[in-house]
Amino acid sequence: MIGWLKIGGLLGGRDVDPTQFGFAELVFAIVTGAALAMLGQAVFGVVAPPVARAFGGGMPGRDARIVWGAAAFPQVFTVLILLPLDLIIVGPEIFATTKPGDSIATGWASISIALGLLMAVWSVSLFARGVQVVAHLGLLRAIGAVVVAATCLSLVIVAGSLILLSVWG
């Protein structure tokens, strides 16, 4: 969610003025992201065993959830180190759709986005390797299982978004 806030603002996918974005919105985004990730993890724990069998391997749901959780570890860096630095160096403007005020803030925002993407890629690679090892699959088949995991998470996010829209819509 933190990455979506930064990149969505950068690419113009959202339209948020810095004065409209506060800590309540940030906390809501982080809590929502964590809840959706846990739901996605639970869904993958149910879906992973038949998917692993279909790909020629085997993986209990419990192990699938453990792999998912272990692969998410690099995101701790994003929340505990990058987020505070983002707020100290740039402030809430890093999540808005306007450019940060000075060159230091703009430079930090670029570095922060790059590091956040690096952490996301690291998480995905850990997840693919974890699925490969635990399910006894080849790398290409493990990547297929990762695509299924991404689909699970996407379905959870879409369902969660539809529920939120119906509540606040």
Confidence of residue 15 (pLDDT cuts 50, 70, 90): low
Q: How many CB atoms lie within 10 A of CB 52?
A: 25
Answer whether residue 34 shows pLDDT above 90. no
Q: What is the pLDDT of residue 11?
A: 65
Name the residue with higher pLDDT: 5 or 145: 145
Q: Which helix or strand (DSSP H or E) is residue 101 part of?
A: none
Mean pLDDT along residues 96-120: 83
Above pLDDT 70, what percent of the chain? 87
Q: HSE of 14 in the Cβ direction (CA atoms, 13 Å)? A: 18
List pLDDT tens digits, range 59-71: 999 999 999 999 9
Answer whether residue 136 shows pLDDT above 90. yes
List pLDDT tens digits, range 47-91: 899 989 999 999 999 999 999 999 999 988 988 999 899 888 888
Amino acid type, 163: I
Name the residue with higher pLDDT: 121 or 15: 121
> Burial, 140: exposed, middle or buried (Cβ in 10 Å; 0-12, 13-18, 19+)?
exposed
Residue with tokens 């998917």: 51
Confidence of residue 21 (pLDDT cuts 50, 70, 90): low
Domain range enclosing 67: 2-168
The secondary structure of 17-69, three-state, reads CCCCCCHHHHHHHHHHHHHHHHHHHHHHHHHHHHHHHHCCCCCCHHHHHHHHH
Distance separating alpha carbons of residues 9 and 86, to the nearest angstrom? 14
Q: Is the dihedral of CA 55, 34, 8, 102 positive or negative?
A: negative
Mean pLDDT along residues 120-130: 93
User: What is the number of domains present in the chain?
Assistant: 1
Instruction: Select from 67, 77, 75, 79 the least CA-distant residue to 41.
Output: 67
Distance separating alpha carbons of residues 134 and 148, to the nearest angstrom? 16
Amino acid type, 128: A
